[in-house]
Amino acid sequence: MKIGVNKTALAFVLTAVALAVPSVSWFIVGSREVATEATRLEEAPRRSAEVLAERLADRLGSRLETLREAESRRPFYHYQNLYHDPKGAYEGAAVIPSPLAQGPADPLVRAHFQIDAAGRLTLPTLNDELLDTASAEVEHAGRALQLELQPVAAACLEKLRSAQPSTSAAGTDETRMEVMSAAAYEQNLRASRLYASIKNGKPDERPATTKVGEVRVRVGPFHWHTVVIGGTDMLVALREVQARDGMLAQGFVIDEDAITELLRGAKFPTQFLPGPPSGATEAAVPIAPTVWHVSVFAGHAMAVARNTGREAQESFIESFTKGVIGAAAVGLCVVALVWWTDRLARQRSHFAAAAAHELRTPLTGLRMYAEMLAEGLGDPTRSKDYARRIAGEVERLGRVVANVLGFTRLERGTLRVRPEPGDLATVVRECIVRQQAALEAAGARVETALADDLSPVRFDRDAVAEILENLLDNAEKYSRTSANRAVRVTLARDGNTVVLAVSDHGPGVSAAIRRRLFRPFARGGDADSPVGLGLGLALVQALARAHDAKVGCDDAPGGGAVFTVKFPIK
């Protein structure tokens, strides 16, 4: 027993170590890989948002810089509704509509405007002196926009007065001088009156254009500024124009909707916002001196990636748990196999010892009685008794051999019966008669109560005889220490079954032992119980099942145990 326990314990320890080492390694390595992958998944949208913010900021900055440079090259007089082109091919008085009179040509520009030194704001789309130069719809929209922009005129002038010198990114001065004749300058200064006189065909009303000399107008470049318009920060480009008659401020407002449309189609939601960037997914747009940035919102994508990483970790934990449980199950099966193999080894050892005892006992009796008869020893008048004892020992020896052969057939799956209709009571009586002498010689007394009017059942005569012989032998063995050695055999009908019962007055069978009583090599009682092979009841159950019968064990009414075999009536 100790060796078997040690083998099982050793197998358990080795299996546990063999499972623990790779499982711990798998968990450590797998956890790191999954954590790394989860971090990578979560960082991917953030890094993508950072790259996108930088790319969009550069793209938007380049677009705005191109627009600023183009507008900086625009002549200052384009910001009037009507103007005289000093480089025109015609001679004399002439005015034409400004290229900005129909509105901005660039979709990023919401409106162009001009502010005089007195703070009055005008739009090139409107003519305050001539009210019939634009359609009613354009006039209405222009007046609304003029009212919206007029409150910021003072702020724009203040920004120009406090601005740094007009230098480019390369450090060069971008201010230029526009030189025109004094006559051209005067025509631009009074373009609306000149347009009205030309249109009305009244040359006498045309302003004089005979001034000589030239006028130099200093035009600064546009610079970006943030101006609050209608309670909202807006991106505005402003430049200063120094003319003979005073300073002018010219500018244009960036259209927020156009910026939104320009940023549309990005991988993540994006906004163009004032102020410096404050996060990793924000990038400054290069439009100095003011500061705006592109903000990329990747929160949803990062949350999805975070959930994906969490699901990957949960999936790993689930796979790891299932793998460990599966490996543990296999390991337990290995331990159970070792335990079962060790148990079979112990059973074989016990079987060999029990078989030797079971064979040696009848052989000893046979030898003793045979020598007494051969040598004429003992009481000559008891020769027949000696011969009967020899026959009983031979029968006992044959039963041991029969049980061993029966168990061998059971293990090989070749145990067969041939049920045929017959009188079960007759077979039971014949079996009792054959064993009665041996039982009585062992000190047991057989009592019978066999019903004669039983319904016919199908059974195998040899199998029934073997069943009853094993039950009688079992009853005799376990009642040897009892005062009442009576063994009772009954045969009666119970519903749709015929019940064969064998009861004794022995110590009985405990409930714990009954669960394993019909297993091979299992024996009832304790260590002081009679030696046996532990095969008899296993064969009884196998033969009974071959008849579709049920075997049971219970406490006998007067003490002891009662074994029943219930044959179905067919």
Structure confidence by residue, pLDDT tens digits, 540-551: 888 888 888 899
Can you tell me the distance from the alpha carbon of 114 to that of 399, in angstroms, rounded to the nearest whole number? Answer: 128
Contact 531, 358 (CB under 8 A): yes
Tokens of 167: 């230098």
Can you tell me the distance from the alpha carbon of 358 to that of 369, in angstroms, rounded to the nearest whole number? Answer: 17
Can you tell me the distance from the alpha carbon of 553 to that of 509, in angstroms, rounded to the nearest whole number? Answer: 8
Picking from 399, 362, 413, 385, the residue whose alpha carbon sits closest to that of residue 533 is 399
Tokens of 432: 């009792």
How confident is the model over 482-514, as pLDDT tens digits? 888 888 999 998 888 899 999 988 888 877 777
Can you tell me the distance from the alpha carbon of 560 to that of 537, in angstroms, rounded to the nearest whole number? Answer: 17
For 50-70, give the DSSP string.
HHHHHHHHHHHHHHHHHHHHH
For 231-281, give the DSSP string.
TEEEEEEEEEEEETTEEEEEEEEE-HHHHHHHHTT-SS-EEEEES---STT
Q: Which pLDDT value is given to residue 113?
A: 96
- pTM, full prediction: 0.57
Tokens of 570: 């067919």
Q: In whole angstroms, what separates CA 376 from the centre of its chain?
A: 91
For 444-455, give the DSSP string.
-EEEEEE-SSPP
Task: Give the β-pairing of 457-459 and 420-422.
Answer: antiparallel
Q: Which pLDDT value is given to residue 144?
A: 92
Dihedral-angle region of residue 376 (phi above 0 means left; psi in -120 to 50 means alpha; beta otherwise): left
Show the domains of the chain with their CATH numbers. Answer: 2-53+300-361 (no CATH), 75-164+173-264 (no CATH), 379-568 (3.30.565.10)
Can you tell me the distance from the alpha carbon of 488 to that of 536, in angstroms, rounded to the nearest whole number? Answer: 19
The secondary structure of 311-370, three-state, reads HHHHHHHHHHHHHHHHHHHHHHHHHHHHHHHHHHHHHHHHHHHHHHHHHHHHHHHHHHHH
pLDDT of 3 strictly over 50: no
Q: Which pLDDT value is given to residue 359?
A: 61
* Cα dihedral 59→63→66→67 (10° resolution): -160
Picking from 515, 546, 523, the residue whose alpha carbon sits closest to that of residue 410 is 546
pLDDT of 62 strictly over 90: yes
Of the two residues 421 and 390, the one the predictor is more confident about is 421
Mean pLDDT is highest, among 44-58, 162-176, 196-210, 385-399, for 44-58
pLDDT of 270 strictly over 50: yes
How confident is the model over 285-300, as pLDDT tens digits? 999 899 999 999 988 8
Q: Where residue 424 falls among pLDDT bands split at 50, 70, 90?
A: confident
Of the two residues 226 and 135, the one the predictor is more confident about is 226
Q: Where residue 136 falls among pLDDT bands split at 50, 70, 90?
A: confident
Picking from 113, 54, 58, 74, the residue whose alpha carbon sits closest to that of residue 287 is 58
Contact 422, 415 (CB under 8 A): no
Q: Where residue 4 falls among pLDDT bands split at 50, 70, 90?
A: very low
Can you tell me the distance from the alpha carbon of 122 to that of 102, in angstroms, rounded to the nearest whole number? Answer: 14
pLDDT of 195 strictly over 70: yes
Tokens of 12: 């358990």
Which helix (H) or strand (E) segment is 22 a member of?
helix 2-72
Mean pLDDT is highest, among 107-111, 442-446, 561-565, for 107-111
Q: Which residues contact 516 (CB under 8 A, 6 or more apart)?
A: 522
Q: Which pLDDT value is given to residue 170?
A: 47
Of the two residues 504 and 558, the one the predictor is more confident about is 504
pLDDT of 349 strictly over 80: no
Helix, strand, or coil here: 424? Answer: helix
pLDDT of 7 strictly over 70: yes
Contact 406, 535 (CB under 8 A): yes
pLDDT of 311 strictly over 60: yes
Of the two residues 363 and 206, the one the predictor is more confident about is 363
Percent of the chain at pLDDT above 70? 80
Q: How many CB atoms lie within 10 A of CB 561?
A: 23
The secondary structure of 486-538, three-state, reads EEEEEEEEECCEEEEEEECCCCCCCHHHHCCCCCCCCCCCCCCCCCCCCCHHH
Q: Where residue 132 falls among pLDDT bands split at 50, 70, 90?
A: low
Of the two residues 414 and 567, the one the predictor is more confident about is 567
- The arithmetic mean of pLDDT across residues 329-358, rounded, is 74
Percent of the chain at pLDDT above 90? 31
Quote the mean pLDDT of the chain.
Answer: 83
- The arithmetic mean of pLDDT across residues 277-283, rounded, is 91
Where does residue 266 rank: exposed (0-12), middle (13-18), buried (19+ CB within 10 A)? Answer: middle
Which helix (H) or strand (E) segment is 552 a member of?
strand 550-555
Which one-letter DSSP state was computed for residue 150?
G
Q: Which pLDDT value is given to residue 201?
A: 66
For 402-413, give the DSSP string.
HHHHHHHHHHHT
Tokens of 567: 């044959």
Can you tell me the distance from the alpha carbon of 87 to that of 98, in angstroms, rounded to the nearest whole number? Answer: 14
Which one-letter DSSP state was computed for residue 415?
-
Picking from 277, 333, 320, 266, the residue whose alpha carbon sits closest to that of residue 12 is 333
